[in-house]
Chains A and B, each alone.
Chain A
Amino acid sequence: MISGKEKEMAKKAAKTFSVQLRIWRQTNRHTQGRVVQYQVNGITADMTFLDMLEKLNEKLLKRGEIPVVFEANCREGSCGTCGLIINGEPHGPGEHSVTCRLTMKNFNPGDIITVEPWRIKSFPIVKDLATDRKALDRICEAGGFISANLGSSPEANAINVPKEAAEEALAAASCTGCGACIAACPNGSAALFVAAKLAHLSIMPQGEPEKNSRAIALVRAAEKEGFGPCCNNGACEKACPRGIKKDLIAKMHRAYLKALLGMK
């Protein structure tokens, strides 16, 4: 009985279907892009979305066309390399999703799926679906670090960090730098990214001395990179694969104002 059921399930899983893809194609950052429609056949429900794109690329390569460029690394949602807007949603359907962990179970046979890169002015398109997110590194370079010389630190337990603070800092520091929060924001604001960085470093006592200068440096750097202001609609929180809370943004504003006023 059981084996029969299993067989049936396996059959169901092996059933293949096809979807239509509308993909953003762009040769490089200086050229005009356009949406191109492709059909992909032979998809199974347990395939990941990126496997499906690879299948498309095999087909394109065999036809003598140029494969679609997209980026991915770990394929388990930890590294923050991948990032696509699928049917208008960063990282695809669902809250806190990650592109590389998205399976084709979420789609039905014959669906028309629109695939776009992050559409943010400060992330220029490299090619097709790959963008250049170095702006985030430049924000961190402005002051997202601890000015401690390496190798000359006091013994680890000499710095007492309350458990709650360490947990809170870790929750903020789990940001993978994927950029989904910015892609989800109607204003293209990097507020959640900056707020998470500030929270991580300022909650811990090690980051306390530079709290004010860091808040000013990071907020201004984000502005300089062309990211918009926060509009408080919360799309970033839903898009974040790590579920980083938007409360941190309020804390960031507070820290920034306090720093401007020179308060401690």
Chain B
Amino acid sequence: MKKISARHDRPQKKNIVPIMLNAAIPPGSLKDKWPYLASRLPQLPPEKKEKSNIIVIGGGLAACAASAALAEQGYNVKMITKVESPIHENTSYMRGGLNASRNYANDGDSDERFFRDTIEYGSRRSREADVYRMAQLSGRVLDTCSALCVPFLRDEGGMLLPRTYPGGNTARSFQARGQTGRQLLQAFHAALLRQKKRGKASIISRRETVEIAIEQGHARGVITRNLINGNEEAWPADAVVMACGGYSDIYNSKPNPLSGGIIPLWAAYRAGAGFANPCFSLDLPGNATKWKIVPEDYNAAHRCSGGLWVDYQLRTTITGLFAIGEANFSTHGANCMPGNAPLQEISDGLFILPAVIGAYLSKTKLPEIRETDAAFTKAMSKAKNRKQKLLAIHGRTSPEEFHHRFSAIMRDKAGFIRYSYRLQQAIKEIRGLRSEFYRDLLLPETTYYNITYETAEKIAVCLEFGELLIKDALLRNETCGAHFRMDYAPDNASSSKSEGTLVRVWFRQAAGEDIPIKEMLKFTYSKKADEHHKKKHKTETKHG
């Protein structure tokens, strides 16, 4: 396999060339891959860790876990979040549970079974090696959470009492009475505060990350906009971690209308990071028809199934830029199994990231960098220009109105049910809305804590991202996850045209064009199981 560096070697033609992106999966059987890599990754000496600066973008569970783990190992961590305190972040309203394959219910659970369930649940759209690693680490994640005082449900004997999800056969979901997200977030926030007290971590709050600064091909920091005074600020570092969550801003659905991490994600995409599978997942296995859901009723997106493309070591296509948690794409597939979301966030942040970031820094010689260097001044002027462009419009339509019109287009034409002609219509409408936005946006005359500008900034990105999402949907001639193409419905004769198992990764060209590249997913764990799965699926659809 040839590793392509997406920034330098993008295909020039618009034809989709099936180049393989190198996922850098270590050799060996599935269960040996992570132990093999973890014991061979080069390590950074402690004294160098003390001198390394890392920026973590985001304030949720993944960001707190990563920042706490990195700071504990000696790195100097700056966590940049748009909220006032991480305890108010979006993880706090995750209800479900935390999955771990500990087999505490003695119902035959194991890493292997957990792994298979996740792969099948995700309609085989997630990367096998990554999922297996998550299953392997799940036990240690649970142990850590328990040690950090997360009050999970217990039985009369004082032992942990896992629950089974509807549709599942094994009890592996550890819950805290509908507030698992809050409890996990609080635990890792507290762990981070412990590091803050030690002076190893700092929380830079109320900042929106608007640009990634790249110096000689390496991500060397970020530009943020201070939400309070409106000023752009430069934050140099040795590595940048995207832990900003997903892009659920796209649909104006509760909870979290416009509170996702779409702005930092888009900043990374603009800077050259590949964006994989821009779509959403259902919280149901298989696809919606299997569960007899009336598609009209189901317009809420459960979780972002895509995100920044990362290889096995959580590296995006920009050197020095890592993506963890919901910000990356690798473990959930078309459907996210309930309880896997917080697990991935913690396992990425706690165990995988510290190992791979150490390896990166030990192999890379980075020159000193200052806020006044070209990378920052360039990125800063880009950010300022974008802001000035919006502020100089002086139109008559409020950002909220644009938001409603945008989300109406997304929900009607690019929601759960999709027709290719409607998708094409949606692209046209979004382009129309975008030109109107830059002609007629109304903003108040204030610079200090301008919440209206915040909305406008989000809409500007949503108008770009929405188009990418639809472009991706148009290429997917299939029904899978929260993507119900009526012209490719499973009970339709053309369902055999299903795309198969691939990840579509988008890259933005300098001219502003979006180019897709495929990463074909390989499944090795059991061919027999595959065939059985296929057969079962076929008979089911026949009867259905």
Contact = CB atoms under 8 A, between A and B. Distances in A.
Q: Which of A130, A134, A141 has most B Cβ within 10 Å?
A: A141
Nearest to A61: B398
A166 B152 contact: yes
B68 A150 contact: yes
A46 B296 CA distance: 23
Contact of A74 (B90, B154, B197): B90
Interface string B147-159: 1110111111111
A109 interface: no
B146 A170 contact: no
Interface stretch (A32-40, A75-83, A84-92, A112-120): A75-83
A65 interface: yes
B256 A160 contact: no
Given A62-B442, A79-B92, A163 B255 contact: no
A8 interface: no
B179 A174 contact: yes
B362 interface: no
B194 A74 contact: no
B351 interface: yes
A190 to B, nearest CB: 14
A73 B259 contact: yes
B142 A156 contact: yes
Given A140-B193, A150-B68, A177-B87, A161 B445 contact: no
Contacts of A233: none
Given A65-B444, A170-B177, A176-B92, A151 B152 contact: no
Contact of B182 (A65, A78, A142, A150): A78
Nearest to B91: A79
A149 B147 CA distance: 9
A141 B146 CA distance: 20
B179 A78 contact: yes
Contacts of A27: 448
A157 B160 contact: yes
A127 B156 contact: no
A67 B156 CA distance: 54
A164 B179 CA distance: 17
Contacts of A160: 157-159
Contacts of A54: 400
Interface stretch (A16-24, A180-188, A200-208, A256-264): A200-208
A74 B85 contact: no
Nearest to A27: B448
Interface string B61-93: 000010011001000000000011101111011
Contacts of B182: 78, 173-174, 176
Contact of B85 (A78, A133, A148): A133
Interface residues of B, number: 71
Contacts of A140: 189-190, 193
Contact of A206 (B69, B90, B147, B177): B147
B147 A154 contact: yes
A169 B151 contact: yes
Given A61-B398, A74-B255, A144-B193, A151 B451 contact: no
A201 B92 contact: no
Interface string A88-124: 0000000000000000000000000000000000000
B464 interface: no
Contacts of A136: 85
B104 interface: yes
Given A58-B400, A66-B445, A159 B146 contact: yes
Contacts of B145: 156
Interface in A125-147: 126-127, 130, 132-134, 136-137, 140-142, 144-147
Contacts of B448: 27-28, 127
Given A75-B255, A163-B156, A201-B149, A126 B228 contact: yes
A127 B449 contact: yes
B190 A76 contact: no
A163 B400 contact: no
Contact of B191 (A62, A150, A156): A150
A6 interface: no
B158 A163 contact: yes
Given A61-B452, A153-B143, A162-B154, A67 B149 contact: no
A67 B102 contact: no
A126 B179 CA distance: 29
B190 A159 contact: no
Given A140-B190, A170-B177, A204 B149 contact: yes
B144 A137 contact: no
A64 interface: yes
Contacts of A57: 400, 452
Nearest to B400: A58
B85 A134 contact: yes
B183 interface: yes
Given A27-B448, A73-B90, A170-B176, A162 B398 contact: no
B193 A78 contact: no
Interface string B132-175: 00000001101111111101111111111000000000000000
B180 to A, nearest CB: 10
B413 interface: no
B304 interface: no
Interface in B231-276: 254-257, 259
Interface in B192-208: 193-194, 196-197, 203, 205
Nearest to B137: A151
Nearest to B203: A137
Given A145-B193, A145-B194, A170-B151, A157 B255 contact: no
Nearest to A28: B448
Contact of B444 (A66, A155, A169): A66
A69 interface: yes
A79 B93 contact: yes
Contacts of B228: 126-127
B424 to A, nearest CB: 32
Contacts of B85: 133-134, 136-137, 177
B446 interface: yes
Interface of A: 27-28, 54, 57-58, 60-62, 64-67, 69, 71, 73-76, 78-81, 126-127, 130, 132-134, 136-137, 140-142, 144-151, 153-157, 159-163, 166-167, 169-170, 173-174, 176-177, 200-201, 204, 206-207
23 contacts: A58-B398, A64-B444, A66-B446, A74-B92, A74-B93, A80-B87, A80-B88, A81-B84, A127-B449, A133-B84, A133-B85, A137-B85, A140-B189, A147-B194, A153-B143, A157-B159, A160-B158, A163-B154, A169-B149, A170-B176, A173-B151, A200-B151, A206-B149
